[in-house]
Structures are given as structure tokens and as C-alpha cells.
Amino acid sequence: MGTHYCHLKLNERRKLAKWLEAKMPISEIADRLGRDPSTIYRDIKRNRYTDKEIPELDGYHALVAQDKYEARRAIHRKMIVYPELKEAIEGRLKAGWSSEQIAGRMRLERYPIRISHETIYWFAYSKDGRDEQFYRHLPEHRRRRRPRGYRRHNRTHIFDTQSLPYRPESISERAEFGHWECDLMMFRKEHGKVNVTSLVERVSRYAVVMRNEDRQSKPIMEALIRGLAPLPADARQSITFDRGTEFSAWRHLKAGIGADAWLSNRKAAVKP
């Protein structure tokens, strides 16, 4: 799962809280605990307590930090605690579904136990998952997961103003017709590079499906332009994508059909 590090124990968090209160430098705290400074910074950032009503209580508290850590760990262990959930996920992976598709479908179907695609990956590459070779069910299985950010340097730069937080509320609330969501559906390797682009209009839920011969971004964008060009301008105002490399040529949309492009904050399924 990329770079692995050992999380702080409760006794270490107690020392950390005490030394932070004493204004000890992070470098010295890390040295005393025998930890890398990045580990200390990470634990403070992830487990710091904040209280909007009583800001005086803000800070790093050992027991609160431990509780927050254990709560996150419990989320990641859902597939161990609920065998029926693991069985359902495994069945869909064997049928060719991606982790993102499984998590999205379970959310859409209001499955009693929610799970994120990251949790599926986490289990697949955890010790328990590796012991039973669960990673083999992933569409592109490998013994160890590539680190987050892998290949990110190859991606086209995406301006912050194109991110979802800047998308107008009228789009997010489905108050205006003509705004689409786009995703790419891929198949198992034995089917070759062929994949399918799916487009869904956010208000009417009208769907359009297009076949692609590979994952190259420019041909995918050209196919989108050809498919939507016959529609009136107010029926193709914008398209929301995830940040996959297959959508890196999103700038062609504005020049081709005048449609704006919005991009989610991570390489995952587009927010509903």
C-alpha cells in the first residue's frame, strides 16, 4: 500500500501531548520517540481536537487522538467484521466491477453497510487480504498497491477553479437542465482496450453510452463532442468528470461545443 509506517501507540501519544504542551520542537519530539518528524506531524494533523463552540479546548489530546485513530481503523476493518459484505464485494469484483463502481452502487442501493472504494483497496492489500490473495480479484491486480500519487506527474494540470467546490450550486442541486456527469467503464484485460464512456444528465437522468477503442483522452473528448453537438446549447452546458488521465483533455470541450468542464477532487466516481 505504498510507504508503510507504524502508527503511534497510546503511550507515545501521551508523551506527544505532554511535550506539545511544553512547546517542545517537533524535531526533538520525533527524536525522543524514535520516529520520523513526518509521522508526528501526520498524527497531530489527523487526530487534533477542535471545538467550534469552545475554541480554548482545541489541541492535541492523547485519549481523543487514540479514539479518532481507532474509529478510522474500525472503518477500514468492515470487510473483516462483516463476512457477508466481503462476499458481496468479492462476487462483484469477479464479475468485472471496479472498486469505485461497487462502492457507488452500494451507496445508490442504500446497502445497510456502506463502504468506500479506498476501504476495498485497503483490505485487498492488508495482511488479511494478501493472505487470501484477495488482490487477485481486482481488475488490475498486483501484489502491492502503488503509492498514492503514482503517475500523477504525467497528468495534465487541473486548475482549482475547475474543481467541484467552484461548481455553481444550481448544478449541484440539480436545479438546471443541461449538466452531465461522465465516467469511464472498463472491462477485464481479456476484452482488450475497449471501454465505454457513460454520460448521465443530472436532472432527467437521461443516459448516453459511447464505445471507445482505448483510454486515450483526446479521442474520448472528440467522441463526447460529436455525441453532444446535435443538442441545443442549453442542453449541453457542462460535464463533470473524475480526475482520471482519460479525461485530461477536458479543455477541448469548451472549444468544441462550448461546454464547461468540472472535475472532482480525487480520481474516483463523480459525486452524485
| Any domain includes 249 | yes
Give the SS3 label for residue 35: coil
pTM summary value: 0.41
Q: For residue 49, what are the contacts with CB-CB under 8 A and spacing of at least 6?
A: 57, 58, 59, 60, 61, 64, 65
Q: Quick one: 85 and 179 in the same domain?
A: no
Cα 64 from Cα 10, distance rounded (Å): 10
Q: For residue 16, what are the contacts with CB-CB under 8 A and spacing of at least 6?
A: 8, 29, 33, 40, 43, 44, 60, 62
Q: Which cell numbers hold the place of 233?
A: 446549447
- Report the candidate in 201, 248, 199 with the shortest Cα–Cα distance to residue 227: 199
Q: What does the pLDDT look like over 31-85, one tens digit per residue?
A: 999 999 999 998 999 898 988 888 888 899 989 998 888 777 766 677 777 888 8
Q: Quick one: 82 and 65 in the same domain?
A: no
Yes or no: say if 184 and 215 are a contact pair by the CB < 8 Å rule: yes
Lowest mean pLDDT among 6-20, 159-173, 192-206: 159-173
Residue type present at position 30: A
> Which of 76, 92, 125 is where one domain is finished?
76
Tell me what percent of the chain is helix, strand and coil, each rounded to the nearest 5: 50, 10, 40
Q: Quick one: 65 and 83 in the same domain?
A: no
- Report the candidate in 240, 222, 242, 226 with the shortest Cα–Cα distance to residue 178: 240
| Any domain includes 46 | yes
Q: What does the pLDDT look like over 185-236, one tens digit per residue?
A: 877 766 677 888 899 999 999 988 888 888 788 888 888 888 888 889 889 9
Q: Quick one: 19 and 52 in the same domain?
A: yes
| Any domain includes 111 | yes
Using CB atoms within 10 Å of the CB of residue 137, give its burial: 0 to 12 exposed, 13 to 18 middle, 19+ buried: buried
| Any domain includes 269 | no
Lowest mean pLDDT among 54-58, 124-128, 142-146: 142-146
Residue showing cell 440539480 = 174
Strand-pair category, 179-186 with 238-241: parallel
- Report the candidate in 243, 196, 193 with the shortest Cα–Cα distance to residue 223: 196
Q: Which cell numbers hold the place of 11?
A: 503511550
Taking residue 235's Cβ as centre, other Cβ atoms within 10 Å add up to 15
Average pLDDT taken over every residue of the chain: 81
The total of structural domains in the chain comes to 3
- The whole-angstrom distance between residue 188's C-alpha and the CA centroid of its chain comes to 21
Q: Quick one: 82 and 105 in the same domain?
A: yes
- Provide the residue range defining the domain that includes 83: 78-137
CATH code assigned at 194:
3.30.420.10
* Phi-psi region at 204: left, alpha or beta (left = phi > 0; alpha = psi -120 to 50): alpha
